[in-house]
Amino acid sequence: MHTTLKLLVEDIYFSEGPRWHNNKFWFSDFYQHAVFSLDESGTLEKVVDIPNQPSGLGWLPNGDMLIVSMHDQKVMRFSDGVLSLHSDLSHLTKYTCNDMVVDKDGHAYVGNFGTTKHNIDVVPTCLIHVAPDGVASIVADKLEFPNGAVITPDGKKLIVGETYAGRLTSFDINSDKTLSNRKIWAQMMPTWIFYITKIKRFLKQVAKESGYAVRVPDGICLDEAMGIWVASPTTFEVFRIEEGGLVTDIVSTPQRAYACMLGGPKGKTLHISTANDSTPEVAKSKPMGRIYTTRVKYARAGNP
């Protein structure tokens, strides 16, 4: 697949949770501690400050924005210029919260690092469901760093990236929004490397020692042909993968790719969040993060 990358945004620190909503592109910048939007004229606007570091984004049916506040394990609600608490998750996880997907009914699913440190002492952890009224509960456990997630257009299936296992895992969404029927949707990391990471817990070092460029899922998004675009920071690329593991398209990036989102007027513009590294000491030192775009075959589908 021949692709041309267009630089959309530069001189940011570390963008996460990219979303397309109401004809605007939205993202969180970890180390500016703020959420930003970009309109079709190219105007970049700071929307709201999130002191404890923002990540996943989504919207309730009434248009209120939900924002993951990472270090205090909260989901915040931004409505009419006012930031308030939507749900406190600290009784369910002590770890750094991260990405989130919100369905069309306003039900959110929030992952976490499995640690409060960066790539250190990572343990299997949970996925948390937050109802529209803010009531939260654990709906899946023993996940290896649940990260980016998508919900299919019919609202019946959730697929989440398990970064440290190098796989996408699917669940059926029940009528009460709980999850069941857990399956591996696509495996991208060789299983023998996964068992090494169970001991090492550090994918970059494993890749170096094994000689493999180990693909792992960070942020993901879904297209209308039920392919998933995956940002893989360890291999400096985003790639499109189908259920079962067939990779159909690969887009190389000049920096590590951490997240991606389909959007634009026809839903066929792939936005790619990149940075030199996710390590706070590196990412916070200088605003070197960027967001690129490229055109792809299939349009966005489902949530986010």
What pLDDT, on a 0 to 100 scale, did the predictor assign at position 49?
98
Sheet with 256-263: list strands edge to edge.
6-12, 289-295, 269-275, 256-263
Per-residue pLDDT tens for 220-233? 999 999 999 999 99
Paired residues of 213 in beta bridges: none
Check whether 2 has a pLDDT greater than 70.
no
Sign (positive or negative) of CA dihedral 293, 275, 57, 35: negative
Which CATH architecture best describes the domain 6-295? 6 Propeller (2.120)
Check whether 108 has a pLDDT greater than 90.
yes
What pLDDT, on a 0 to 100 scale, did the predictor assign at position 279?
81
What pLDDT, on a 0 to 100 scale, did the predictor assign at position 196?
59
**Mean pLDDT, the chain, as a whole number?**
92
- How much is the average pLDDT of 255-269? 97
pLDDT class for 117, splitting at 50, 70, 90? confident
- List the one residue out of 266, 185, 258, 260 whose CA is nearest residue 226: 185
- How much is the average pLDDT of 242-267? 97
Paired residues of 24 in beta bridges: 21
CA 242 to chain centre: 18
Supply the pTM of this predicted model: 0.93
pLDDT class for 204, splitting at 50, 70, 90? low
- How much is the average pLDDT of 50-68? 98
Pairing of strands 54-59, 15-21: unpaired
Burial zone of 195 (CB within 10 Å; 0-12 exposed, 13-18 middle, 19+ buried)? exposed
The domain spans of the chain are 6-295
What pLDDT, on a 0 to 100 scale, did the predictor assign at position 122?
86
State how far the Cα of 30 lies from the Cα of 50, in Å rounded to an integer.
9
Peptide bond into 304 cis (omega under 30): yes
Indicate the range of 34-43, 55-64, 117-126, 149-158 predicted with least confidence.
117-126
What pLDDT, on a 0 to 100 scale, did the predictor assign at position 207?
52
